[in-house]
Amino acid sequence: MFEPLLLSAHNPSPMTGAGNNTYLIAGDNGSAVLIDAGVGDARHLEEIDAALNKRRARLDRVLVTHGHPDHAAGAPALAATHPHATFLKTPWPGQDEKYAVQWQVIRGGDVVPAGDESVTAVATPGHSPDHLALVHEASGTIFTGDLVVLGSSVMIHASRGGDLREYMASLERLLALAPRRLLPAHGPSVEDPRALLNGYLEHRRFRERQVIAALRAGYSEVPAIAESIYDGLDSALMPAARENVRAHLEKLKADGLARDEDGRWRL
């Protein structure tokens, strides 16, 4: 049985929901891997230690899905208490330096020991440029970081390294792996991955059609396009709506379907 242990990072907030999920995989061979580092909260560190003691395992590796602080900021605290641990992620220059550990490079296709088993990294950029998912093939489980959140959607910040075109390609990549279960970094596990991933893709395609329709109707600036699509939206949510429109416009540009001049967009 492949049963990763969910350990909360104890960092609830409007952005992280109930707090990040991290997953501990400990083997009978005495070796353990943690997927995502959390933020260094003392309760998280204690619960990791308790789980390791119970399994008589040593933390050998910390696999970080991407460099956003709620996933990576706990790395130095873990390094201090687990001197044997190595820290692995796909490089994100400019971001990785914020966390004082010696990162080792992992890329899509790499296979990493995880307890008695192994996981395979799959490059899934888009939410961030360095994003990785980790696949346990025998059980059809994928650790999906911030690719999906059940009952919600994922922010793609075009102005902060996000790329909607890559993100949608990453969702397609997951779909092609025909997973049986997704274990995200936020929210509950996903037991019907195909339905969720198809729903995500369909929703983005629907928004894209709306953005194209807004451009066709003559709206050319991001705020006006967002107003036309998200008519009546709570004003507190408008900045996120504009960010989403921006991500769609950048995707349409990369697809060769839209262009911009001095902040004015057209087809």
Closer residue to Zn ion (CB): 146 or 250? 146
Report helix, strand and coil shares of the chain as percent, to nearest 5.
35, 25, 40
Closer residue to Zn ion (CB): 82 or 165? 165
Closest CA to 19 of 6, 29, 9, 28: 9
Closer residue to Zn ion (CB): 87 or 92? 92
Q: Which stretch binds Zn ion (CB under 5 A): 65-73, 83-91, 201-209, 225-233?
A: 65-73
70 catalytic? Reply is: yes
Subset of residues 139 to 158 that bind Zn ion, contact rule: CB under 5 A: 146
Classify residue 61 by burial, with Cβ atoms within 10 Å: 0-12, 13-18, 19+: buried
Closer residue to Zn ion (CB): 115 or 125? 125
68 is a site residue for Zn ion (CB under 5 A) = yes
Smallest distance from Zn ion to CB 127, Å: 6
Residues touching Zn ion, count (CB under 5 A): 2
Smallest distance from Zn ion to CB 21, Å: 12
Determine phi and psi for 103, rounding to 5 degrees: -70, 140
The pairing of beta strand 132-136 with beta strand 141-145:
antiparallel
Selecting among 70, 96, 146, 163, the annotated active-site residue is 70
- What does the CA dihedral 68, 71, 77, 83 come to, rounded to 10 degrees? -110
**How many CB atoms are located within 10 Å of the residue 116 CB?**
13
Instruction: List residues near Zn ion by CB under 5 A.
Output: 68, 146
